Homo-oligomer: A and B are copies of this chain.
């Protein structure tokens, strides 16, 4: 179900683009989440993860983080980077994490609620390659980065940007976070993202976000405006940069998406239950860390448990095991009362049927799990190693299907249509009835990519596969793209900040 906030549908119809978009808006599931574990089974995973945190604990590679945790009551021994937690301490620390908050965008029309039964979809993040079916695969670059940001602005079911939709590898690393954020935030107004790659970098992005929103530091602390993801170095380790990210973001009340990467059979046990125990231990320790820094800071429970293919050693995504892990992750996040991050993933090397059915395993399970922040929603291919332009459109269509599915079935005297059925009677049809005429224009979901012409008409129109149509659609969108307005004073301040930091050398690798 969508509460409409702003729409492009009518404008596109006028422009004769030939495809439909649902309006941008807050999507929420009217259905109970689908739960595959009993309360006892869930509790068994919870208890097992607490045992891991008590007996083995986790490595926290940043001394400042260890000091904060020690002061909060964790077991930290001198000369060791290991931190152990008593079960009661973890349970007490995570209690202050909020179950719901609002994310603020540079354009308030694109603000997003997080939590409860609200479902949001983000763009793909971080692939080192870009691909389309015209030019094939190439190393991530600034031009493709900008085009993906343009699509993120134009596609209504992209609720937020979740990182670089493709890594702009042609921008030198010390200034990449500056130049990429600067360009991206001008091209796309959706809620933005900063990488926790070092203290200096995340502070730059926090400051740029504040400038773009045109607000004070105090207001930004009241109004979360920037996401970051913090991955555990699974198993059981947080590195310095990630911990600096937690500290600087949580301190300023900006949400941290704590996401272990627990690949069953590689960095996590070969059993999915075991991988979930490890995911949960790592997530709870990361969530606890945010609350130690700033009790009440917004934080998300992230799950990213999948399995390796035992034949090739490659990670597999969008598998049956993945779907089960997604659903259990949702149960755990709800147990802790924290919004849930999950992902739309697949392992295919082409925007083909495999990419579609693996993504649909992901999209159905994330929707049924009440995934509040669905990362990599649009464009992910090759297990995350490529961002695909066609896949952005294919995913947009599949996500629109999910959103239309979440539109509750109306059961009213009027929609039950007993009078219309009796009026038409045996052997008739409903095409011309008043009941049909009053409703047919908006009765059903209208797709942006699916072609429902019969075979003859479809053949006459060129007999294009859906992937070939997606190629045309993304190119048409880019042709019609217009940069959203930005207050010239804000733009000037942003550019000045970036110029100054670039002149200073950016944030060199340390």
**A residues with CB within 8 A of B:** 30-31, 34, 36-37, 41, 44-45, 48, 51-52, 55-56, 58-59, 82, 137, 233, 235-237, 264-274, 277-278, 281, 307-312, 314-316, 319-321, 323-324, 328, 347-361, 364, 368, 382-383, 385-386, 394, 397-398, 401-402, 404-405, 407-412, 414-418, 420-422, 424-431, 435-436, 439-441, 443-446, 449-455, 457-459, 463, 465-467, 470
Contacts and interface: CB of A to CB of B under 8 A. Distances in A.
21 contacts: A36-B408, A41-B411, A44-B416, A137-B455, A265-B443, A271-B439, A271-B443, A273-B417, A281-B421, A310-B441, A310-B446, A319-B401, A319-B445, A320-B402, A320-B405, A321-B444, A321-B445, A348-B450, A349-B455, A351-B353, A361-B405
Contacts of A265: 430-431, 436, 440, 443-444
Contact of A415 (B137, B274, B354, B450): B274
A233 B420 CA distance: 17
B270 A436 contact: yes
Contacts of A407: 320
Given A425-B235, A426-B59, A353 B356 contact: yes
B235 A466 contact: no
A347 B452 contact: yes
A278 B420 CA distance: 10
A424 to B, nearest CB: 6
| Most central of A267, A278, A417 by chain B CB within 10 Å | A417
Contact of A426 (B237, B426, B459): B237
Contacts of A402: 320
Given A48-B418, A267-B430, A417-B271, A450 B320 contact: no
Given A307-B444, A430-B268, A410 B353 contact: no
Given A418-B48, A440-B270, A233 B427 contact: yes
A29 to B, nearest CB: 10
Given A269-B417, A407-B320, A453 B349 contact: yes
B443 A264 contact: yes
A317 to B, nearest CB: 9
A349 B411 contact: no
A215 B426 CA distance: 41
Contact of A360 (B357, B409, B452): B357
Contacts of A354: 449-451, 465-466
A57 to B, nearest CB: 8
B416 A274 contact: yes
